[in-house]
Amino acid sequence: MFSPEQKFSNWKIAGFGNAPAQLFETLESTHSLMKAKATAGEIPPGTLIVADRQTAGRGRHERTWDSPAGLNLYFNILIPLEGIPLSSAPQITQVAALTFAEIFKNLQDESNAQNLGNKTIGKISVKWPNDILCGKHKFCGILAEVVYAGGNGAPKPTVSMGVGINVNSDPADYAALGRAVTTLKDICGQKINREKLLQMLIANLERAIGQFRAFGIRPWVSAWKRMDQFIGTRGTIVVNNRCTDQTRGEGDIKKTGSILDMQDDGSLLFKCDDGTVETVYSADLEI
């Protein structure tokens, strides 16, 4: 995983079930292209789209995801929903976050064993529902949308899941964002082979989706609790579907309190400062 990587255009990768991977030196957004191609029936479920650079990368609520060339990973995978209820589709991002976090944690542990890792930054964990942090510094974001893939016959529901990972960039590169951000290189103290990392992420995610199809979200709730560093701490639930970089803070509904638990269905149990206990299915969590 720490070996030198080959030229991006020569990467040998595939999607789910050996579906094709499409590599682009530069794209506006892997997510936008995936949605357009899937809706038009131009690609099969399982397809992987990867960009070496994005010019208009976005995270949740259209927030900027800085996407320089040759350093990080930006990709979308078109996940088939056969055998998965449409109502459970949002849980796929939680499955992905926990699956990826385990891989990143192993890289951190390996680097620490070599005395190369950054031992002051904290441990890798998932901040509900699907942000991956080291300490309180984010380095991986996941965005998913149900897309009805066209083609022969009736369009089929799929999930287009976009992932951005700060791999070999430096935390200083993101100072202008005004957020706590880190990178895998900073966490591990050494550069990561992005091709090998992506191969591992896709292979493990495909297995995890198969397990999710069979067993639901519960095994990943258990995994979250094993690596959690937020249960029992204070936080703020923010509900505002219009919150972008430009409208941050406008129309926010904020509730401060304590994080009690993650429940078996993947929802968050949150005790507000007024004493009420809420089950939260969709919101941003600030810590």
Q: Is 1 part of a structural domain of the chain?
A: no
Confidence (pLDDT) at 65: 54
Confidence (pLDDT) at 246: 44
Confidence (pLDDT) at 61: 47
Confidence (pLDDT) at 63: 53
Residues 135 and 267 in one domain: no
Q: How many domains is the chain built from?
A: 2
Burial label, 225 (beta-carbon count in 10 A; 0-12, 13-18, 19+): exposed
Residue after which a domain boundary falls, among 178, 196, 226: 226
Question: Domain residues for 248?
Answer: 230-286
Residue after which a domain boundary falls, among 226, 258, 277: 226
Q: How far apart are CA 107 and CA 111, in angstroms?
A: 6
Q: What is the pLDDT of residues 142-179, one digit of tens each?
A: 999 999 998 777 889 999 999 999 999 998 888 787 78
Residues 194 and 53 in one domain: yes
Confidence (pLDDT) at 227: 85
Confidence (pLDDT) at 287: 84
CB count in 10 Å sphere of residue 15 = 24
Three-state SS annotation for the chain: CCCCCCCHHHCCCCCHHHCCEEEECCECCHHHHHHHHHHCCCCCCCCEEEECCECCCECHHHCECCCCCCCCEEEEEEEECCCCCHHHCCHHHHHHHHHHHHHHHHHHHHHHHCCCCCCCCCCEEEECCCEEEECCEEEEEEEEEEEEECCCCCCEEEEEEEEEECCCCCHHHHHHHCCCECCHHHHHCCCCCHHHHHHHHHHHHHHHHHHHHHHCCHHHHHHHHHHCCCCCCEEEEEECCCCCCCCCCCCCEEEEEEEEEECCCCCEEEEECCCCEEEECCCEEEC
Q: Is 100 part of a structural domain of the chain?
A: yes
Residues 43 and 126 in one domain: yes
Confidence (pLDDT) at 240: 63
Q: How far apart are CA 27 and CA 55, in angstroms?
A: 6
Kindly give the parts of the chain with pLDDT less than 50. Answer: 61-62, 241, 243-249
Q: Which of 217, 192, 221 is closest to 71 using CA atoms?
A: 192
Confidence (pLDDT) at 120: 92
Q: How far apart are CA 252 and CA 263, in angstroms?
A: 25
Confidence (pLDDT) at 58: 59
Residues 261 and 130 in one domain: no
Residues 69 and 118 in one domain: yes
Confidence (pLDDT) at 98: 95
